[in-house]
Structure 1
Amino acid sequence: MIHIKDEIGVLGIDDGPFSKESKEVLLIGTYYRGNRILDGVYFKRIEKDGMDSTEKIVEIVKGKHEKKINVIFLDGITFGGFNIADIHKIYEKTNIPVVAVMNNLPDYEKIERALMKYFKDYESRISILRSLPKPEKFDDIYLQYVGIERKTLELIIKKTRLKSKVPECLRVSHLIGRGFLYL
């Protein structure tokens, strides 16, 4: 039996709200110990529909809590529109397991059609999408992950959520992002 300590260090990353006119989008990271202790909040700007979310996520991870982060949770794999996070590269550059958490199964055919229609560099974006592991259902969410075994991941998710279906670090990153709607 695998033992996961109650105060395991996890980082949750989500994006803030944006409009069609936005050039940049705020990336929000919260570092949690377990599901009750918020121990850090990070912000980075990414380009809306750009290709810099992977690099900016790595910058957040390399902050103050890097040595304490056991898992990086992402709210999906796209931020600020179609700024696709490459979970393989994030794992490669941090050596910390990366998990994209989604409420619904992504429609990759629809996403690929949109990428082909709106982006000149659609081939590299589609290449990242196709390199990702298939989403797997867990309770009421879907997971894409690298660098961790499924059983261990399930235990960590159970330890890091409070009353939500997602880890608390992701829930709070999302709440902070929603707060920017009212500025």
Structure 2
Amino acid sequence: MKRQFRCAAFATGSVDLSRDTMALVMVVARAPAYLESVAVGMVTVDGMDATDRMIELLRRVPQNSQVRLLLTNATTMAGFNVIDTERLHRETGAGFVSIVREEPDADAVREALIARFDGWEDRWTLLSRHEWLRMGDIHVTWEGMDGREVADALRLTTVHGSVPEPLRIARLVATAIEDGVSHGRVV
């Protein structure tokens, strides 16, 4: 991956289950952190539209065909709105990387899905295909890239700490939209 590749980072603010929708923020940046575009859409809390909304946001920005990497801070948005990472990669041509601080507890996630959703199986199918690997202080899963490309992309987009700068910015904007001020850890 070249040093100044374009990436798009997606984030929502803190989940409020009393709401029907939340802001979904996308930040397009040239590595490591040169901000080029910000787009905002809405995503359904606990819905199944995250993948569609992410694709729509990406198509709205002029740099969409040049984006090589998609970043998220989980494989869900707005609660359990699961991202179909395979479809996202297929339709955008960009690699997908999701990072979290703690490896997800698959059994606890499955139990939560069963307790909350009648059609939990579809969500579980999408979530259970991810293998999380530790890279430094974070756990990572990806689609459409190999481990070396992922490590290089994270190194090239991370300015301080272990969170890629475009993802940190997207999360700050998303929490500011939802709560009026940015706060909290990104991952």
State how far apart, in whole Å, the 2-side matches of 1:42 and 1:23 are: 20
State how far apart, in whole Å, the 1-side matches of 2:34 and 2:125 are: 37
Shift of 1:36: 2.8
Task: Provide, for residues 42-63 of structure 1, a one-character-per-residue CA deviation record: whole Å limited to 9, x for no partner.
Answer: 1110110000001111112223
Shift of 1:67: 1.4
**TM-score when normalising by structure 2:** 0.91
State how far apart, in whole Å, the 2-side matches of 1:164 and 1:172 are: 14
State how far apart, in whole Å, the 1-side matches of 2:113 and 2:149 are: 34
Within the alignment, does 1:97 sit opposite 2:95 as a pair?
yes
Q: Is the 8 A contact 1:50 1:83 kept in 2?
A: yes
Flag structure 1 segments of 5+ consecutive residues without an equivalent: none
Q: Mapping of 1:1-183 within 5 angstroms? A: 4-63=1-60, 64-132=62-130, 134-180=131-177, 181-182=179-180
State how far apart, in whole Å, the 1-side matches of 2:33 and 2:123 are: 36
Q: Is the 8 A contact 1:136 1:143 kept in 2?
A: yes
Q: Is the 8 A contact 1:17 1:25 kept in 2?
A: no
Instruction: For residue 30 of structure 1, give the secondary structure of its aligned residue in structure 2.
Output: strand
Q: Is the 8 A contact 2:12 2:175 kept in 1?
A: no
**TM-score when normalising by structure 1:** 0.93
Flag structure 2 segments of 5+ consecutive residues without an equivalent: 182-187
Letter in 1 for 2:174: G
Letter in 2 for 1:118: R
State how far apart, in whole Å, the 2-side matches of 1:26 and 1:152 are: 30
Q: Is the 8 A contact 1:164 1:171 kept in 2?
A: no
The runs of at least 4 consecutive aligned structure 1 residues that moved more than 6 Å come to none
Shift of 1:143: 0.8
Instruction: For residue 62 of structure 1, give the secondary structure of its aligned residue in structure 2.
Output: helix
Task: Provide, for residues 129-148 of structure 1, a one-character-per-residue CA deviation record: whole Å limited to 9, x for no partner.
Answer: 1223x001111111110111
Shift of 1:18: 3.8
Aligned-residue sequence identity (percent) comes to 21
Task: Provide, for residues 6-57 of structure 1, a one-character-per-residue CA deviation record: whole Å limited to 9, x for no partner.
Answer: 3210111111234231100111110011123100001110110000001111
Shift of 1:86: 1.2
Letter in 2 for 1:14: A
